Amino acid sequence: MHLISAKKEEACMNSYHQLSQEERYTITSLLRSRQKQADIARELKRSPSTISRELNRNRKPYDNEYRAFDAQHYATARRRRTRRGTHFDVEQIGIVNALLKEKWSPEQISNHLKRHGSFRISYETIYKHILNDKRKGGTLYKHLRIMPKLRRKRYNSRDSRGILPGKRHISTRPIDIETRKTFGHWEGDTLMGRDLRHCVLTLVERKTGFAIIRKMESRKAPSVTAAALPVIRDRVYDFKTLTLDNDTEFHDYKEIEDHSLLTCYFATPYHSWERGSVENLNGLIQQYFPKGTCMREVTQEQCDQVAFLLNTRPRKRHGYKTPLEVYHENL
């Protein structure tokens, strides 16, 4: 009995599950550093066949290069095509309809059926079923407490609100930036206050962790540019690249590029881990300006003081040197 249980446990541990987008970005980084497939598999704790299959299926067809952003798109589209063939019989749809009429939510129905082994149906599929029923004049939607709008994640259309074409995606950023071994590569973000207007611009150098904080009167693109440009001009040779998120306050990035020597890159929307340095910095700043603080009352002098305290705090990754020490060593 123990032997059977051990084999079952081993089978579960070795069962395949889809690669995440974060894993695909790791594969891209390791390939650019000329790592072999076997080494990549060990790094991700995946089988070599998984990595081989991923590279064979999700490379760009015209240049045979593997890029995480495109690979994720190909994999998602493939799963979507597979799901199109999925169907449920009349009895299964009848069960879903009956539970909806009992005022159960699609998520409750999905997890209940999964737990009791009846059959599997995602809550997204149930929402689509309700929307299709409504289009045909049905009344299933009336049994929901809240009828959400059509799901935002659409595959046949693209939500272009707030998106500025022509941005350089983070996947095109040189690989040496990812390793934090070269100096002059920064990340930027904004930290909003309680009044949803006044905020601060946060900049951090990836290798050293050196931080700069600038007070802003609003979270608009002209304010960001006005706050960032003097800092960059004062340290013009210290800024080689700047990685930002996709919020609209960074839409004037070309003006920053035109008046400096740096190149801007943009992270994938909702992938905060791609800008881990500035996300960590924002968390440290909130030790001094806690969530709920009204930034209207914050002065540039206070911002400079917080930046000084953070830049003179010893860091384990620097052998307990401070970011300020390491920054000056790299100038």
100 and 80 share one domain: no
Residue 1 is predicted with a pLDDT of 42
CATH number at residue 218: 3.30.420.10
How far is residue 93's CA from residue 129's CA, in Å, rounded to a whole number? Answer: 9
104 and 65 share one domain: no
117 and 21 share one domain: no
71 and 193 share one domain: no
H-helix segments, 105-145: 106-115, 123-135
Q: Is residue 156 part of a domain?
A: no
How many H-runs (helices) and E-runs (strands) does the chain carry? 14, 5
Say if residue 9's pLDDT is above 50.
no
256 and 321 share one domain: yes
Range 67-91 average pLDDT: 73
Q: Is residue 163 part of a domain?
A: no
190 and 237 share one domain: yes
Say if residue 112's pLDDT is above 90.
no
Could you report the per-residue pLDDT of 166-196, keeping only the tens digit for each? 789 999 998 889 888 899 999 999 998 888 8
The better pLDDT of the pair 72, 17 is held by 72
Flag the least confident range among 116-125, 126-135, 223-232.
Answer: 116-125
Number of domains the chain contains: 3
Residue 13 is predicted with a pLDDT of 40
Flag the least confident range among 98-102, 114-118, 128-132.
Answer: 114-118
Residue 158 is predicted with a pLDDT of 52
Residue 285 is predicted with a pLDDT of 93
Q: Is residue 151 part of a domain?
A: no
326 and 291 share one domain: yes
State the DSSP H helix or E strand holding residue 6, giving kind and residue range, or none if neither: helix 2-14
187 and 291 share one domain: yes
Long-range contacts of 259-265 (CB under 8 A, 24+ apart): 259/229, 259/232, 259/233, 260/229, 260/232, 260/233, 260/236, 261/236, 261/237, 262/186, 262/232, 263/168, 264/167, 264/168, 265/167, 265/168, 265/169, 265/170, 265/172, 265/173, 265/241
60 and 181 share one domain: no
Say if residue 248's pLDDT is above 70.
yes
Instruction: Assign 11 a pLDDT band (cuts: 50, 70, 90).
Output: very low
Range 69-75 average pLDDT: 83
28 and 135 share one domain: no
What is the domain extent for residue 99?
A: 90-143
Range 30-49 average pLDDT: 90
133 and 200 share one domain: no
Say if residue 150's pLDDT is above 60.
no
The closest alpha carbon to 50, from 80, 24, 16, 13, belongs to: 16
Of 36, 57, 84, which residue sits at a domain end? 84
Q: Is residue 154 part of a domain?
A: no
Of 99, 126, 143, which residue sits at a domain end? 143
Q: Is residue 165 part of a domain?
A: no
- Provide the whole-model pTM: 0.54
Range 251-264 average pLDDT: 91
Say if residue 2's pLDDT is above 50.
no
Q: Is residue 150 part of a domain?
A: no
Residue 308 is predicted with a pLDDT of 96
How far is residue 68's CA from residue 227's CA, in Å, rounded to a whole number? Answer: 33
Residue 114 is predicted with a pLDDT of 84
Q: Is residue 11 part of a domain?
A: yes
Of 34, 58, 84, which residue sits at a domain end? 84
Range 306-313 average pLDDT: 93
Q: Is residue 170 part of a domain?
A: no
Say if residue 160's pLDDT is above 60.
no
249 and 132 share one domain: no
Instruction: Assign 4 a pLDDT band (cuts: 50, 70, 90).
Output: very low
Instruction: Assign 239 a pLDDT band (cuts: 50, 70, 90).
Output: very high
The overall average pLDDT reported for the chain is: 84
Q: How much of the chain, in percent, has pLDDT values that exceed 70?
A: 86
